[in-house]
Structure 1
Amino acid sequence: MSHVLSEETHRNLLARIPHRTGRQISDWLRTVEEGPALPFEEKVSWLRHEHDLAYGHAKAIIHEHALRRAARRLL
């Protein structure tokens, strides 16, 4: 799957997002949840263009959203 990040890369990107954007990860995840229902890469593109994010940051946010959503399904 082309959208999978290594665990280390993913965590490093997530750690930088609040400093770079001024918003916490929880805020970004809420934005994604309220955004359009799109396939992974289209959602990354939407987030990048709608909120002027770097590709890596947008991808990390969408990836984190997908991870948390999958974890909720397991509960």
Structure 2
Amino acid sequence: MSLSHSPDTHSKLIARIPQVTGRGLPEWFTTIENGPSFLRCEERSHWLAEEHGLSHGYAAALVREHERARRERHY
């Protein structure tokens, strides 16, 4: 499974997450931050999908968006 979607697909997935999951991005980001300390994004994505019943597409988009937001906070 690839963690990379086209920018358009990624934006659409992120926009639908609150409706699909009932949880907003800040809540998902907290879940990711409080989850296991995996080194690879793919491992976090698999854990998120399996632990929280998400499709791998949504899980991958969440992990990718979390990484993007985390990088922006450090600048």
> Same fold per TM (> 0.5)?
yes
- Structure 1: 5+ residue runs without aligned partners? none
CA deviation after TM superposition for structure 1 residue 3, in Å: 2.6
Instruction: Please give the alpha-carbon distance, in whole angstroms, between the structure 1 residues aligned to 2:31 and 2:16.
Output: 18
TM (norm. structure 1) is 0.89
C-alpha RMSD of the superposition: 1.1
Point out where structure 2 has 5 or more consecutive residues left out of the alignment.
none
**AA aligned opposite 1:19:** Q
Question: Hey, what's the Cα distance between the residues in 2 that align with 1:4 and 1:21?
Answer: 21
1:13-52 correspondence to structure 2 within 5 Å = 13-38=13-38, 39-52=40-53
Structure 1 consecutive aligned stretches of length 4 or more whose deviation exceeds 6 Å? none
Cα displacement (A) at 1:6: 2.0
Q: TM-score, structure 2 length as denominator?
A: 0.89
Deviation sequence 1:18-38 (CA, Å, 0-9, x none): 111111111101100111111
SS at match of 1:32: helix
The aligned length equals 73
